[in-house]
Structure 1
Amino acid sequence: MFASFAELRRLYGRLPTEFTAEDVGRSGLTGGRRHMLVRHLAEHPAFGCELVSRQPLTARKTEAEKEQPMPAD
């Protein structure tokens, strides 16, 4: 899906505080992949966010995440 982890971090950094699968949409990502990406971001320890709704699938960046910039690779 992504050429590097840094590319995923850049995408995450551009997302709003609360985001859905539609927000992570980009060319080449199907609906199912967008949903998988939202879940991945919420579950991966490198990203400070959590799922807040299943319908529609929605994640929210945590307060700590909003205060700290994404680390460089």
Structure 2
Amino acid sequence: MATQINEIHIAPLAAAPVEAARPALRQGRNLLFVIAIEAATLYLTGGILGILLGLTASILFSQLRRFGR
């Protein structure tokens, strides 16, 4: 059952970039331009998430170190 829940949540995320590109392509934008914009957006989003994950891990490890004393 957990697999079904994960599939439900992952499917819209996988389709989101395609749905976001359709209006730009209808306006006559170049496909490479649309792909470049989406790649930059995903790169920046990944960078922000990476920073948040790093901060969370840092706080967690500092608390664990303090707890272990």
Same fold flag (TM > 0.5)? no
* Structure with more strand by fraction: 1
TM-score, reference length from structure 1: 0.30
Higher normalized contact order (CA 8 Å, seq sep 6+, divided by chain length): 1
* Structure with more helix by fraction: 2
Which of the two has higher C-alpha Rg? 2
